Structure 1
Amino acid sequence: MFWLLVLLAYLLGSLSFAILLSHLSGGPDPRATGSGNPGATNMLRVAGRKLAILTLLGDLLKGLLPVLIARGVGYDIQHQAWIGIAAVIGHLFPLYFHFRGGKGVATAAGMLLGLYPPAALLAIAAWALTFHLTRTSSLAALIATPLTLPLLAWQQPLALLPMCVLTLLIVWRHRGNLRDLFAGRERHF
């Protein structure tokens, strides 16, 4: 059952709401415009607030639902986290879109919301504050994700290893943004 849930989470994570919503609205593929990232931030840039909000909600749900299903069938928090990571990996490398996905931040936030809501709220608050101060989405994501690790380690120690893997995945997906941040070329809103 665990591996079936991992597979289902990956397939759900592979749904790119940015690409689907762009296609349904007649807009351009977000991977070909703006930052080239099929996520809520780029959708805000290229398609407007409404589609960005819908993308954000879809990406949050595809991280949240697998965790809630895993909890519903009785898996402990560590197994829930691994299943949630499968959804994030689906977002990063979507089967349906030639493995060209987003950065995984909103899907990871949904996963965190299902695992331990206080950690998700801390991550969202850190993201919002950093974004408000810097107007840089990538920097906000890179600060918010690892900030949740100490809280999780203290409150949910079984989730620490999967959360470390999640943090490494998100930092790795932002490696181009890190180069641009250090070089002073990162895009701002």
Structure 2
Amino acid sequence: MFWLLAILAYLLGSLSFAILLSRLSGSPDPRASGSGNAGATNMLRLAGKKLAILTLAGDLCKGLLPVLIAQHYGLGHGQQAWVGLCAVLGHLFPLYFRFKGGKGVATAAGMLLGLYPPAAALAVAVWLLTFYLTRTSSLAALIATPLTLPLLAWQEPRALLPVSLLTLLIVWRHRGNLRDLLAGRERHF
């Protein structure tokens, strides 16, 4: 059951709501416009609040649903985390869109919400506070994601390895943003 759910999670994660919504609305492809990221923040820049919110909700749900399904089938917390990580990998490297996806923050938040809601709440609170203070989405993601690890490790130690890998993937996907932050040229809202 685990492998079937992992594959299904990857395939679900491969659905890029930013790309699909941009095609349906006639908005520019987020991979070729704005920041080049197929995610909610770039959709806000390119297509407005409504499509950004829909992108965020879709990306969040594709991280949450596989974890909830894994829970339903009685998989342990560690296996639930691996299934959730497969959904995030689908978002980062979508099969349907030539493996060029987003940065995984909203899908990771959905995964965390399914694994341990207080960790997701902490991540969202830190993201919102950082974004409010800096108006920089990438910095908010880079700060919020690693801060959830101690809380998650304390409550769900079997999920620590997949969530640590998730954190490394998110930091790696934000490496260009990190360079821009250090050089003082990162985009702000």
TM-score range, shorter chain: over 0.9
Partner residue, 2:14: 14
2:122 maps to what in 1?
122
> How do 1:6-45 residues align onto structure 2 when only pairs under 5 Å count?
6-45=6-45
In 1, Cα distance between equivalents of 2:27 and 2:188: 22
Alpha-carbon distance between aligned partners in 2 of 1:47 and 1:26, rounded to the nearest angstrom: 9
Cross-structure match for 1:57:
57
- In structure 1, distance between residues paired with 2:48 and 2:139: 21
Aligned to 2:103: 103
1:153-164, aligned counterparts within 5 Å?
A: 153-164=153-164
RMSD: 0.5
Could you tell me which residue of structure 2 aligns to residue 79 of structure 1?
79
Instruction: State the identity as a percent.
Output: 81
Q: Distance in 2 between matches of 1:110 and 1:117?
A: 9
Instruction: State the TM-score, normalizing by the size of structure 2.
Output: 0.99
Q: Which ranges in structure 1 are unaligned for 5 or more consecutive residues?
A: none
- Residue identity in the other structure for 2:33: T
What displacement does 1:168 show? 0.4
2-structure distance, mates of 1:155, 1:63: 20
Deviation of residue 26 (structure 1)?
A: 1.1
Bigger shift: 86-95 or 150-159?
A: 150-159
For 2:67 and 2:50, the matched residues in 1 are separated by: 26
Aligned length: 189
1:153 positional shift: 1.1
Residue 91 of structure 2 corresponds to 91
Aligned residue identity for 2:141: A
Q: Provide the residue aligned with 1:145 in structure 2.
A: 145
Using structure 1 for the length normalisation, give the TM-score: 0.99
> Deviation of residue 89 (structure 1)?
0.2
Q: SS where residue 10 of structure 1 aligns?
A: helix
Name 2:113's counterpart in structure 1.
113
Moved over 3 A (4+): none
